[in-house]
A and B are shown apart, each in its own frame.
Chain A
Amino acid sequence: MGLTLVFGVLGIGDFAHGDKMGWGMFLAFFVVSAEGANLGFAGGRFGSLSFGWGLIVGLLVAMIGVALISVILERLVFRRLRAAGGGFFVFAIASLGISIMLRAVIQLIWGPSNFRYTPGIHPAIEILGGIKVKPDQFFIVGVTILAAVLLYWLLYRTRFGKAMRATADNPGLAEASGIDTNRIRIGTWIIAGFLGALAGVMLGLQAEVRFDAGFRLLLPLFAAVILGGIGNPWGALIGGLGVGIAQEVSTQWINTGLKPGIPFVIVIVVLLLRPRGLFGQVR
């Protein structure tokens, strides 16, 4: 959702989004790990969930941190490139460089090992029809839906969100209407940063905390955005579900090792059959 938002409003295909997720993941890890425990954050659990207040505080720290990183990068990199007349490819290549840099710094600080927010085994519980689900996964789904609803509310019900959509639609006319498009750009980076950090922490909760976890998700992420229709947050959510389900279900017929190739197939098929994606608008 963050990726599609940045693309829709700012026209930037942000290859660093995956590594911003990585940063979110690790900022939260910093809070729940030993360093955080010394500060009095970690510990405690909510019911059968694997985490407690520590992770919630970690999530907030991650969101603020990633938003801050995004804003600094806008000021330091993208604003200058824009002023110099840079276009889509210039932004994309710059974000690729940023991606490598962000990942390298994570690796420098935390090393290449895998971590968990809460060590130990977290048993799954059985729900209807013998499907096994970890309690954490309910939390992840709930938070994702809440984020989507909040984003929808922001974009369609608030003055700032409508101005974001107006800027995405027609920047010249938006500026002539008195919308401060610079503020909109900063706001978009902040919101995308929140969403990226949220996704990173959820990913860390579901899988493992690893320096390149966000980056590895970048391709499925782009596939989800293209499938859903570039620039459409709902599309991104549905596209994400679609790509994820396709990847998992595919293992019924193909070798599990080929799973990472599924997003490629989806991207190619979507671009061939319906280039604007499921919910994209004709421009």
Chain B
Amino acid sequence: MSERQPLFRVEAFSGGYVDGIDIIHDVELDLYRDEILTIIGPNGAGKSTLLKAIVGALPFERGRRSFQGTDVSGWSTPRMIEAGIGYVPQVDNVFTSMSIRENLEMGGYMRQEGLRERIAEVLAMFPDLESRPGERASRLSGGQRQMLAMARALMLDPVMLCLDEPTAALSPAARGELLGRIYGIHMSGVGILMVEQNATEALVWSDRAVVMVDGEKVLEDSGLEMLTSSAVGQAFLGQGEEGEGFALDEGSPP
């Protein structure tokens, strides 16, 4: 991957919510359009914070962010989203009092034209949502809400999708279905950057993964290597002997 231009590049990045207190320390990260990159790590490692920084929602930052070769350091979130980066926060990621269709309309608020067509296209990717576009988001299950949140983020045809713990609080079956959908979105030509706690399942679908600890990137490798490496398994995936290292996916089956 030496010659390809990354879709998104983070260089010498540090930052946090309060001036002078960095949560992220000197992180380098590249995302390519033809991959799913997953950031894993223990609670409080700064994974979600890094994702917020990438979409321009972190108040204090140093370093450089570039998107498709353009320096986007200092861009606001709406500007990043308009430029083609979809972002799905971990919580409060849908308008609960509005219908599925209205949520998609709001996702496509900045679209100048083709709103109807795009809604139809996006709904077609999520059969669960397509069957009842008038349903209020508050009536959806956790998994369906996550799908709606992703569908919303897809309304502006992003080339890159940032997902903050999409499978958190979902049942194993719903997790599997959601990850399958994410893979489907990826295959339609969208680079995926996600933060995950349910690390083992996410790594199965990931081309590449980054391990973060205490705001620093400590490891970067292919998803398969991470899964099979006994060191990573013991330290981050809860494999090996009971009580060793720290388990990330306590909720998932062995």
Contacts and interface: CB of A to CB of B under 8 A. Distances in A.
B126 interface: no
Contacts of B110: 177-178
Secondary structure dominating the interface of A: helix
Interface core residue of B95, B98, B105, B107 (most chain A CB under 10 Å): B95
B106 interface: yes
B87 interface: yes
Nearest to B111: A178
Nearest to A8: B97
B90 interface: no
A174 B96 CA distance: 12
B78 interface: yes
A169 B78 contact: no
A173 B98 contact: no
Contacts of A173: 89, 92-95
Contact of A162 (B78, B82, B98): B98
B97 A178 contact: no
B148 to A, nearest CB: 12
Contacts of B87: 176
Contact of A177 (B57, B107, B138): B107
Interface string B72-83: 000001100110
B17 interface: no
Nearest to B87: A176
B102 interface: yes
A170 B95 contact: yes
Interface in B69-127: 77-78, 81-82, 87, 89, 92-98, 102, 105-107, 109-110
Given A169-B97, A170-B95, A281-B97, A177 B102 contact: no
Contacts of B81: 176-178
A175 interface: yes
A166 B77 contact: no
A170 B94 CA distance: 8
Contacts of B82: 178
A159 B111 CA distance: 12
Interface of B: 57, 77-78, 81-82, 87, 89, 92-98, 102, 105-107, 109-110, 138, 152
6 contacts: A165-B102, A166-B95, A166-B102, A170-B95, A176-B78, A176-B87
Closest 7 CB pairs of A and B: A178-B110, A169-B95, A178-B78, A166-B106, A169-B97, A177-B109, A178-B109
Given A169-B97, A173-B92, A177-B81, 19 more contacts: A162-B102, A162-B106, A165-B102, A166-B95, A166-B102, A169-B98, A170-B92, A170-B95, A174-B106, A175-B78, A176-B77, A177-B78, A177-B109, A178-B78, A178-B81, A178-B110, A179-B106, A179-B109, A281-B97
